[in-house]
Structure 1
């Protein structure tokens, strides 16, 4: 088809630029309030404005950037109150998901050992959790964020509702954007970050939704307490 190669190239550039900018924000190198234009980013990467604009719009939809009308885009400045609201919204949704699982949601009506697909998905999630735990224990925030996002994304897929998965992923990305600006101030994060990923997987493998709910609540409380402590210091 005429023009197909151009479309693929533009789509690839769009994703590459979006990935690069997302990583810059999550690494804390693009600070909250940092503003920039499509022209500035296009010149920085040596590409045309179209894929840059599309990438920035994509990141705005994910809550990683904010569109600044008539002026370009900027990194959002989330407050501690925003973080609390993100945790609350996430908790309300995940609690509902656990209640549905306990009531016999199709995602866990069969024991994982009898359900090859569920068992395989849990094995993949467990590997992500192990990597996330190692990074959290070592205090390697950049590696942790990558594995943590994949861990929760794949864990949410077990429920089988892509709309819930997308919603929770967006909230988790936003929460990391908010948390990074505080966590990067610490000289070391070793031993400070939540590292209970595999405990959650094991609870779900046993279909122990009450322990899973308790584990998620502990993770949220740990993260919120850490940010509150840093905000007060």
Structure 2
């Protein structure tokens, strides 16, 4: 389900792009992580394994977390993020909760991913599929400490794509579709509050990498993801 723009950019940089199936789970030879591990055994190849590389967590603990704390002058009450590798949730969450245990970490998860259900204590179910790129998983990455999450919201592809478009049409912020998931969850969290709070989320990616999908009316129609932005 990788966008054409991402593939073309990687090829431009000289990468050999190997597309894998998105309808298989861990243990299948065509599953992307299993294939990456297998390829890393070849001479000259190295598997960075961002899902279990502690440098991922440390980067967010040392930079993203402190930046959020400083930019809000310590007034942040909640941080909304998704999980791809878990580095952001775990690194930012650890830092912010060290500053103030009352800060709430909110997980935004695509419908079909199993992570939100785990946070919400729901019974395990088979993961589904989703069109949003970059976040949501069919397993819990080693880098992902879900105990840090205080709340979790499941967001449909429909809402994610529509809020991505609305963000551009209203604020001229051209972001990726995972941002639509985060924005939807942030708004739902805010609607549940009874007093004003400083709630922070991220624009995770540039929309230039999704012009052929999130901002392509024909593609959206083909996947039944069109709707009335005025109603949002």
TM-score for the superposition, normalised by structure 2: 0.24
More helix by share: 1
More strand by share: 2
Q: Larger relative contact order (C-alpha < 8 A, sep ≥ 6)?
A: 1
